[in-house]
Amino acid sequence: MRALDKLSPEECQRLIVADNVRYFGSKAANVTEFVLQRWDLEEWSRGGPVAITPPNVLKENGHALRTPVDGIHFAGTETSEYWTGYMEGAIRSGVRVAKEILRAKI
């Protein structure tokens, strides 16, 4: 990605579409819309795929991220007890909050 960052959006598109054609076949050349997101140039994440905390922060304080407050329930990968920061954690947190809300309604 750092190499691509030096190229124009048009040049990136050409190279990425060529890769997709190599992986998925000639139909992948029929691009109707192309959005280029340069994650590594994002101001806050700088390309990092997950938020990290020092050791013990989540173990000691993680429960505070998922404690409902006045009927507001908190989902999102950072609130997950497992696979924090990843898609799996996001889905797990959604399932947890759905259950919390259903329990609260019963």
Ligand X SMILES: Cc1cc2nc3c(=O)[nH]c(=O)nc-3n(C[C@H](O)[C@H](O)[C@H](O)COP(=O)(O)OP(=O)(O)OC[C@H]3O[C@@H](n4cnc5c(N)ncnc54)[C@H](O)[C@@H]3O)c2cc1C
Q: Binding site: residue ranges?
A: 78
Binding site for FAD, by residue number, is 78
Q: Which of residues 2-31 bind ligand X (CB under 6 A)?
A: none
Query: Near ligand X by CB under 6 A, which window of 9-17, 28-36, 59-67, 85-93?
Result: 85-93
Cα–Cα distances (Å) from 47 to 4, 15, 24, 66, in that order, read 13, 20, 26, 26
**Contact flag: residue 62 with ligand X (CB under 6 A):** no
> What number of residues does the chain have?
106
Closer by beta carbon to ligand X, 1 or else 29: 1
CA–CA distance, 8 with 88 (Å, rounded to integer) = 34
Residue 19 is given by DSSP the state H
Residues that bind ligand X (CB under 6 A): 39, 45, 49-50, 76-77, 85-88, 90
